[in-house]
Amino acid sequence: MSNQTAHGSLKSYVTGFICSIVLTIIPIVVLVNNWLEGLGSTIVFLAAALLQFIVQLVFFMHLKDEEKPRYNLMSLLLGIFIVLLIVVGSIWIMMYNMVAI
């Protein structure tokens, strides 16, 4: 048998799945019941999305189980940086062109 470790257990997958379901239901309930409006609902949606992202990384992509060097974490951070650069750059260009017209 090789030195590779098994990724995750049934318990960790079930825990991640339940957390994902709860973090999906919370914004839906807030929206359907009109509990919050405007900035409050936006904050709830963004917080749930961020927590959902963290749950996905920890329970399904096994980011915490990895040993040094953390190449997967470095690749993830580079990908996030590139996506943010494209999104922010696109918004900046669109805003500049709206003013220039």
Neighbours of 1 (CB within 10 A): 3
pLDDT on residue 6: 58
Q: DSSP code of 63?
A: G
- Helix extents (H) in the chain: 10-32, 39-55, 71-100
Q: Which DSSP state fits 38?
A: T
pTM over 0.95: no
Band (pLDDT 50/70/90 cuts) for residue 48 is very high
Rounded CA separation 55/69 (Å): 22
| Inter-residue contact 63 to 76 (CB < 8 Å) | yes
Q: For the segment 59-99, what is each residue's pLDDT rounded down to a tens digit?
A: 888 777 767 657 778 888 898 999 999 999 999 998 887 76
- When pLDDT is cut at 50, 70 and 90, the band that residue 13 belongs to is very high
Q: What pLDDT does residue 1 have?
A: 41
- Parse the chain into domains and list their residue ranges: 1-65, 67-101
